[in-house]
Structure 1
Amino acid sequence: MRSMMFSALGMCLFPVLAVPAAAQTVHDEGVWINATVMGPIADRLVFFAEVQPRITDGASRLSALLLRPAIGWQVSKALTVYQGYARVVEPVDGGRDRQEDRLFQQATWNVGKIGKLEVQSRTRLEQRWRNDGDGMSLRARQMVRLEYPLHAGSRRVALMGSAEAFVGLTRAEWGGTKGFDQLRSFAGLEIPLAGRSTIEAGYLNQLRNGAGSRTDMAHIASLTLFLRL
């Protein structure tokens, strides 16, 4: 089973290594810190709210601050659907900050287990507007997440891996990609805290479709706190 876990992680991270040799690849380093609070509201009504500062350019400056709340409905024990909103602020030196507003719809599906390997799917559709141009850009995101517990029990450390593909469906005046946008691949650990809360820490690789034949690759130290009420 451990070999299955590492094989699955390899499948998640393989696209990171599959950058075309002819493309110019620009590398960067960063730190992303995320804090997410989630829990019930009433009956099957649930919520989550997250804040995420992103530090890039060689981990030297704040390049984006993301605020993202959502309200959801538990269709079943395995499936929850959400309607949410996100505000993304990107500081611009010597100019007006770039601001993006997003509406998004999300479906989170706990697919089940393959032996001890836990599989989850997250599908998200985003409608995006920015303050530096007109129009809406539509983008789809699909993530597959894998967990493999290192010991038994609900409070356990687990190996984690995920891959999330971003595909632009429409462009706007301000930009946005049509077609492949980016791929995020993550490998790390899930560590239990009090109650059902956890910390996820590891390495995130962000592979983005840049201008022309350029590929942007960010190597990110990722730390996420999940507070489950």
Structure 2
Amino acid sequence: MTRFVPIALVLAGLFAAPPAAAQVTHDAGAWANLTVQGASARPVAWFVELQPRIQDDLGRVDQVIARGALGRTVARGLTLYQGYAHVAMPVRGGRDLNEERLFQQVSWVISGLRRGELSSRFRLEQRWRSDGNDMQLRAREMVRFEYPLGRDDGIRALTSMEGFVVLNSVDWRGRSGFDQLRTFVGAEIPVGGTSTVEAGYMNQIIDQPGGAARVNHNLSLALFWRL
């Protein structure tokens, strides 16, 4: 299966190629994530998660995402999901925005490495927002690598890259193409059983109108509680 590893890397690279930006703005934020999920050894897979995100130099809540999915493991390391997400986006001095999102997900743990774990996650999203009428299609591909720093069941160094591409123009976003790129560097820490905490730094590059770009420097803390 190792011959398929370059495919996932090439897909992430294609998705992650941002346009040249005429203007770049920077911001500091903090993301939290609580995910509860079923044990990976079972045929039926599921997860639910809650993600509050703070931006504007830690000054306000930018988004709160509630997301869940039900899936099935169809082969060793390969799981298919159907999911739904609700996104609340508070607006200062105005009417809050909401997004409803359906998504299909393919999660793949790529075997064949002598040490560490390489995985891929692909999502196809159908998105509706309260400030428009059209449905947007967005594809996103994440490649993730974990490497044990000592024992295999101990702390692991962790890095990932996820690229987002919008596949159609809609009335609330009048252009398709590159949307954003997220790059994460941190550690995965076991906290009992198979549950883990992931902590680190996430760099997020977001395309904006007029060839501009926004770069968010985010502290990220996530708890994955596996049942």
Q: TM-score, normalised by structure 2?
A: 0.89
Hey, what does 2:204 align to over in structure 1? 206
Which structure 2 residue ranges, 5 or more long, are not aligned? 1-11
Q: How does 1:29-44 map to 2 (within 5 A)?
A: 29-39=28-38, 44=43
Deviation, 1:41, is 11
CA distance in structure 2 between the partners assigned to 1:171 and 1:165 by the alignment: 18
Query: Per the alignment, do residues 213 and 153 of structure 1 end up closer, same or farther by CA in structure 2, a change over 3 Å counting?
Result: closer
Deviation at 1:93, TM superposition (A): 1.6
Paired amino acid for 2:220:
S
* Bigger Cα displacement from structure 2, 204-213 vs 175-184: 175-184
**Which position in structure 2 is the counterpart of 1:8?**
none
Aligned residue pair count: 215
Identity of matched residues, %: 49
Shift of 1:23: 2.4
Match of 2:62?
63
Q: What is the CA–CA distance in structure 1 between the aligned matches of 2:52 and 2:210, rounded to whole Å?
A: 28
The match for 1:223 is: 221
Q: Which residue of 2 aligns with 1:6?
A: none
Q: How do 1:130-209 and structure 2 match up within 5 A?
A: 130-154=129-153, 156-175=154-173, 177-209=175-207
Q: Partner residue of 1:123?
A: 122
Would the aligned equivalents of 2:183 and 2:204 in 1 still touch at CA under 8 Å?
yes
Deviation readout 1:126-177 (Å, 9 max, x if unpaired): 00001111110000000000001011232x1000000000000012212264
- 25-34 vs 105-114, which moves further: 105-114
CA deviation map 1:29-72 (0-9, x unaligned):
00000000000599611210000000000011101100001001
Distance (whole Å) between structure 2 residues aligned to residue 207 and residue 94 of structure 1: 26
1:54 alignment counterpart? 53
Shift of 1:197: 0.2
**TM-score scaled to structure 1, two decimals?**
0.88
Q: Secondary structure at the match of 1:31?
A: strand
In the alignment, structure 1 segments of 5+ residues that lack a partner are: 1-11
Task: Tell me the distance in 2 between the aligned counterparts of 1:58 and 1:39.
Answer: 35
8 Å Cα contact 1:67-1:88 kept in structure 2? yes
Note the aligned Cα RMSD (angstroms). 2.3
